Each structure stands twice: as structure tokens, then as C-alpha cells.
Structure 1
């Protein structure tokens, strides 16, 4: 920790800040470690992603340039060491006491706008090491996931159908972009009506609509409703409105559902990657997550997942 503490103090000094208390470690997971400390400018957060998610550090250089209104501006970034120092983002949507659906209706159009801005930067995202989960790559990714979790025959039998889904998405007028891949209310800071999105360690380059897989699953779990409930449709439609110039509403809805079906494989693979990080006892807690996400391909609906936030 001494190297990180020294770096943190140096970066604070360069920003005109000073640490006023001890550094603590509230999060230590297979996919990354987070330290926090009080300073003269408020709490700060030093994130050290794991080897599979170190791309997040470079991402924090890109996001403030491309989407400055919707990303935290880091105090310091060290791509070589894989560290990023962030200011405190304030209150998350999950902790704000805001009505969940109303809050998502406010923030999801902003997230979609961020995705549209980032669509022109997929080459940079891939060069950072963000996983390539674009539709044309996903049949091979399906094979990778099936092998990684030793999937049963029912899942394996979906291979042909899954490839057809991917081909349909690959022909879409909706461009590939970033998919946060864990877009739930506690990964969104809310300042008035302005949303800022963070914790990008699960992010992939994919059909952007796959982002709604986790969001819809959280809404359903929180409200205890089905995927055709008006609350889920309201959240979905608020997100899709930003894409309405690209296709008629009915086609966008169908494409969103298809992207979420395809995105279940990406979720399985990202969990598998996280659990391959070494030296973390916490990995046992989540050991079955990759298999559960892949098994969600056998569920009844596009937004069915075994876990939300």
C-alpha cells in the first residue's frame, strides 16, 4: 500500500489538495481494489482494477473528453501502473430515495446519448482492452462461454439460434458502442437531473441495447413485476427514444430484446474473467455466476437474470 499512498499524496498535492486522514480499503474484490481517503477537497477514491479490467483506467481519460457531462473527471490517471484517482461523485440513484422508475426515466436518455457519442470511438475502446462483444464476434464467444462453464446440452443446442440472433444484430443500423454491462442504480451518480456513470470495469464493446439487460432485471426484481409490466416498458422506451431516428419504435423494441438475449453470453464471460483473477478468497462467493448467466439463455424472457445489482 505504501506505493499507492505515496502516489495518492503526490497526485493530491499536484491538484492543490491534501489528505486529512487515513487511507482505508472498503472494496477488495477479484476484479479490483478501491481505497478511499478524506482530503481538504472531500473524499477521494483510488481504484486499482485487476488485470482483466485495467482498461478502465484509460477509459477514464476518454470519457471526460467525449462525454464530459456524464463522466467523473479523474484527479489523476496512471495508465502504466493501472491506477485512477477519482473525486467523490456524491449520491447514487440507488441511494437518493428517488422513485426507481422515475429516476431511470431521467438518467437513461443521458446514458444513451453517451453511447451515441462513444460509438465513433470503438477503435480506441478496443485498443484499451475493452472486450469485443460486437454481434459479429458473439457466435465464437458463445463457444468460448460454453467451454468455460461446461454448459449442458440444452444450452449447447442453442448455438444455431444464437448465431442467427447475432447475424440479425450485426445488420442493424444501430452502431456498436460501449455497454456498461452492469448498469444499475448504484452505478449512477445523480446531481439534480444530471447523471454521471461510473464503475466501468464490466464494460464491453457491443450492441448498445444490451445495456438494458441488467437495468430491466433490477427493475423487475425491485418491483416484483414481469418484463411486460408498464414500469419496465416505461424505462425501456425512455432509453430507446434517443435512438428513434434510426428505426421505427417496434423495430427498436425487437432489437433491444434480441440484444439482451445475446448479451447474456457477454455477462457470463465477464464474470468468468473476473473469477480468473488470482489470490482472492471472494471468488468462491461468486463461483457459480458465469454458469447462472449462461443458463439464463434458457429462461422465459429477454430480461431474465439470476442476479441484479
Structure 2
């Protein structure tokens, strides 16, 4: 299954199997399907089906095997943090199948003008509290299959990546140039130092969403709910705003030094003052931003592995672009170490 991806989701035999499971789970809960199941989205790594029922639309999600932990993790989070997580109707843990009711309006649909970014000021403290509490359950998450991307393992993961010249697109259009590749090899010691320096702060590593943007947060009666945990890992918590910043930057054409980014950083870091002083939190946050492209790369790897070579070529720039971002961020900060 790991390498079939989008091909699998459109096969009639697979759709029949998924539909049968959906109907069985609905029947057990006294929910009646009242129309045909519609395939809303097909990606190489996942698919979403919409199921019309007597209690409204219900959504089914399936993912490639490398991301199958998402279903069990979402169920655990739903039970532990029902105020900000989606309700889960059923899961098939081995297959990585997930069945959920409608979660409300996607935050993306509410962000019409720049001032709507204030939603993030409201929800980031909620997310931070979940991260802090989740630090108590790391072994449980790891047993579910959530990837371990703590600081101590990052240098080895980067070294492993540098041996994968296909993923790096070495000397291919859009891929890494030989000069960039050599520069990354030369920065191996610096990466170790950055990880070691960030580890000196009294900030617990915990659950990191991995793709925290406005398409993965839903708003329902002023409640914020965090969806799509398929890119999550155990990592430093401050990596989480990398995706948030990136999506807002693209959506509203914000500059790197936007006052909005500073404000969001402030409201997020205020939730961590029991661990470090404000000054040290700022320092830790800056270090995390330098390392965050590496985390973003690691979440791409299982996605890319679900594709055949022609489809992987469509995303040839994904990993090289993040490596360039990493090089750019550390280039101006080397003299601080």
C-alpha cells in the first residue's frame, strides 16, 4: 500500500471495501446513510470521502501506511482534549482509516482580510496548552507510531537524507546544485551545535503538529479544532509555527519581519513562561526557526515514498527548497555560535 497511493484510492475494489467498512460502523452507531458516498479529494498519500447521513455529513479519511498512526493518534487526542479536537466516530487502526463528523468551517474560509489573523492569537495559546500536557504522554504516542524527531536524532536524519541524491534532485532542474550539496555537508557540525544549544533550554519536547496552517484548523461556534495529524511527530514544540508563518506569508503577502509574526510569536511564547524567561524563550524560538526547515523536510519523506518516480518528480523541488531555506537562515547566524 505504501507505494500505491493515489492509484489505490480510485480502485473500485478499494472503494467498495472502504464503503463496506463505513456502512458497518454507521450501522453499529445507529446512523443511517441517506445517499451515495462521494470522493472529495485524492492525493497520492491520502483520500477523503464524504458520507451523507441522517445526522449530517460524515467524513472518512485514509492515508498511506507510513502515516497510518494518524487515526489512532486522532482518537487519543479527541478523548484527551475534546474541547479542541475533532470527534472521532470510528477508526480502523491497522489500515489507518478515520471516520469523523463535520468539524465546522475551515479557518481558511474565515481569513478574508489581514486583521482576521487575530484568530491565530486566540488559538495558539490553546495549541500551546495541548503541547505542554502532551509532553506527559510521549511513550504512548511513540507506541502509536508517531515519528521520533527529537533534537538528538535530527543530525543523523539529515546525514541520512544527504545520501539520498534522488530526493535531493542533485544536479536536476529544481534540485540541489553540487555547490549547495557540498555546503550542506560542510554544515553538519553546525546543525549538531544548533540542536545541542536548543536542547539546553528547559522546554519539553512534545507533540508537534507538523502542518499547522489555516486549512487544518476548523472553527465551530467559536471553538477551534485541530485536524490532520498525519504530519505530526515528537519534536521541539517551537517548530510548529513554521507552517503557520508560511501559510500566512503566502496568503497575505507578509514580509519576514511582519508585525503580525511578532505578535503571534508573543502570544504563543507567553504560554511557555513557566519554563523559561521571556528573553530565553525568544532565543529558543529563534534557534527553532533556523532548524524548522529540517522538520518540514522530514514530514515530506514518507509522503514522497508513497509515490512512483514520475509522480515524485512533480515534487522534485519540495525538499531542495527547504534545504535552501535552512542554508539561508543559518548563513546569517553562524557567527552567533
Q: Same fold (TM over 0.5)?
A: yes
- Contact conserved, 1:275 with 1:287, CA < 8 A, in 2? no
Counterpart in the other structure of 1:306: none
Aligned residues: 302
What is the match of residue 99 of structure 2?
85
Match of 2:67 in 1: 53
Q: TM-score, normalised by structure 2?
A: 0.84
Q: Distance in 1 between matches of 2:269 and 2:120?
A: 12
Q: What is the rounded CA distance, in whole Å, between the counterparts of 1:223 and 1:278 in structure 2?
A: 32
Q: Does 1:218 align with 2:247?
A: yes
The residue number in structure 1 matching 2:141 is: 125
Q: Provide the residue aligned with 1:103 in structure 2.
A: 119
- Write the deviation string for residues 89-131 of structure 1: whole angstroms up to 9, x where unpaired: 0101111246442011011111111111111111111112211
2:135 matched to 1:114?
no
1:11 aligns with 2:44: no
Aligned to 2:210: 181
Give the structure with higher Rg (CA). 2
SS at match of 1:252: helix
Normalised TM-score (structure 1): 0.92
Q: Secondary structure at the match of 1:200?
A: coil
Paired residues of 1:188 and 1:198 also in contact (CA < 8 A): yes
* Contact 1:30-1:283 within 8 A present in 2 as well: no
Distance, in Å, in 2 between the alignment partners of 1:277 and 1:258 is: 31
Cα gap change, 1:191 to 1:31, in 2 (>3 Å): same
Residue in 1 that maps onto 2:188: 159
CA 1:121–1:35: 2 relative to 1, 3 Å? same
Counterpart Cα distance in 2 of 1:218 and 1:106: 17
CA contact (8 A) 2:67 2:96 kept: no
Distance 1:180 1:58 in 2: 15
Pair 297,97 (structure 1): closer, same or farther in 2 beyond 3 Å: closer
Quote the offset at 1:227 in angstroms.
2.5
For 1:22-67, what per-residue CA distance to the aligned partner results, in whole angstroms no more than 9, with x for missing partners?
Answer: 1122222122121111111111111111111001011022102221
* 1:170-217 per-position Cα deviation (integer Å, ceiling 9, x unaligned): 222111111111110110011243211001111111001100111112
The secondary structure found in structure 1 opposite 2:218 is strand
Counterpart for residue 10 of structure 2: none
Q: For residues 135 and 190 of structure 1, what CA distance do their matches in structure 2 show?
A: 33
The 10-residue stretch of structure 1 (13-22 or 148-157) with the greater mean CA deviation from structure 2: 148-157
| 3-state SS of paired residue (1:70) | coil
Q: Deviations along 1:50-90, whole A, 9 cap, x unmatched?
A: 11100101102210222121111211111123211011101
Secondary structure of 1:43's aligned partner: strand
Equivalent residues in 2 for 1:151-300, closer than 5 Å = 152-278=181-307, 283-300=312-329
| Counterpart for residue 155 of structure 2 | 139
User: CA separation in 2, counterparts of 1:87 and 1:298?
Assistant: 42
Any conservation in 2 of the 1:132–1:205 contact (CA below 8 Å)? yes
